[in-house]
Chains A and B, each alone.
Chain A
Amino acid sequence: DSGVTQTPKHLITATGQRVTLRCSPRSGDLSVYWYQQSLDQGLQFLIQYYNGEERAKGNILERFSAQQFPDLHSELNLSSLELGDSALYFCASSPRLAEIYEQYFGPGTRLTVT
């Protein structure tokens, strides 16, 4: 158990819908990262937040957005869902920003878009 929690574990929804994925980082970690994992693309970095502020963006679609709240939990919002958005979505956390720290991953949310 990494200490990172994600809800829900599974999510099934229809095309065009909007969903919210939630992540709570390890106790004391200030930085949260979101990744998407699909069979053909592997793990792809989406976005990073540090202490409530957006710090980095990867290959995140405009239909996707995220935020980190004062209690440090984070939410990833996916809208206008398409079949191709079906994937595993992982959240990871690390202690700080300025140094090299390993990222600890949560158990993921499996999103299925039908």
Chain B
Amino acid sequence: AQTVTQSQPEMSVQEAETVTLSCTYDTSESDYYLFWYKQPPSRQMILVIRQEAYKQQNATENRFSVNFQKAAKSFSLKISDSQLGDAAMYFCAYRRGYANAGGTSYGKLTFGQGTILTVHP
């Protein structure tokens, strides 16, 4: 079974600074996707960024970027120029790829425990 571990229960950053959230995962599969989700107090889970395992290039979305180390099974999220609106719970998640799932059961997300990010003005 796949597992996702976030070892930082809480992180804090000053506004406009950079912060990195850590995530490690364990899998024996070769085809999979990794995600970072943001969950503000409103509870709405919002996709921040995704990475396909077969792509060597790290994904980037505006101020958000990842450091994907496939051999080390590490997937960290870097937030640059932090803003007050970035404050939330962040979850790392794993999803098996179609090639490993035998067809229809590949949508399930396996989440880490989450990291609470506080942004100080």
A and B part of one assembly: no
B-binding residues in A (CB < 8 A): none
